[in-house]
Amino acid sequence: MQIHTSILRSLVAATLTVLFITPTSSIASPKPLDPVTVHKRILKRGEGNWIAVQENNGVDLFGRIITIGDRSFTLQLHNDPQTTEIYYSDVAYLRTGFTTGQKIFMIGGIAAVAGVSIWGFVHIHNLENKQLSNQPTPVFP
């Protein structure tokens, strides 16, 4: 049984090593957005919801959408009583949160990992606690 657990540990270690070494695609800089796309995404997110905005001048803002207009929208920044008006043409990057599909995929992935982990722990526990017995083989005449 020691062989199986040592193989399992080495496979997990190798997998984690590969995952940590491989570069991710988040290193690339985001593509600038056009004002029409920004307006549509802000409308889809809706008033009262939180967003993160990076402006063309490099300023990062995080706040709640207060009003949505034709040329701009207003944010109330975190821990700031004043509102900030942002023009759609000034937005370089917009993060609105996870979509419904992404949330479903994450929940499904977490459930799959939990299920496989529980199955593995139960399987290894049953193998380690199973007593081996030398049963005589039947002899057929």
76 domain residue, yes or no: yes
Asked, for residue 21, whether it belongs to a domain, the answer is no
pTM of the model: 0.55
Q: 74-106 as b/e, with b when 16 or more CB fall inside 10 Å?
A: bbbeeeeeeeeebebebbbbbebeeeeeeeeee
- Confidence bin at 110 (pLDDT 50/70/90): very high
12 part of a folded domain: no
Indicate whether 7 belongs to any domain.
no
Domain range spanning residue 70?
27-95
Partners of 50 in the β-ladder: 64
Q: Provide the number of structural domains found in the chain.
A: 2
- Kindly tell me if the per-residue pLDDT of 11 is higher than 90: no
56-60, 69-73, 105-109: which range is least confident on average? Answer: 56-60
